[in-house]
Copies of this chain bind each other. A is one copy, B any other.
């Protein structure tokens, strides 16, 4: 269980982050995700972080980088399920998720992505 599964839903990919991210896992996720975007011709990526109690600068950067990689492959990224405490911490610490949009939950994220790809 060293890889984070990537689920396909139509033209979107869904990643649920549940475990503590470390360098190797983050790299594996980026490898897998970019490969899957190309293979599945995905238009969007949803990253669910509802299981994360803490988003530090490492995870924030990882998410930003992943979104940048997706963007050059013509896929948009939406982060969903952020816990209120995480939102507070992000702002208080001045961390920004560059180039990443957010939505309350998976459903709204899907709507956001689908409204754009029309």
Question: Which of A's residues lie within 8 Å of B, judged by CB?
Answer: 1, 3-5, 7-10, 14, 16, 18-20, 48, 50-53, 81, 105-107, 110
Contacts and interface: CB of A to CB of B under 8 A. Distances in A.
Contacts of A1: 18-20, 51-53
B4 A105 contact: no
Contacts of A50: 5, 7
A5 B81 contact: yes
Contact of A51 (B3, B8, B107): B3
A80 to B, nearest CB: 8
B105 A48 contact: no
Contacts of A53: 1
Contacts of A106: 7-9, 14
Contacts of A18: 1, 4-5, 16, 18-19
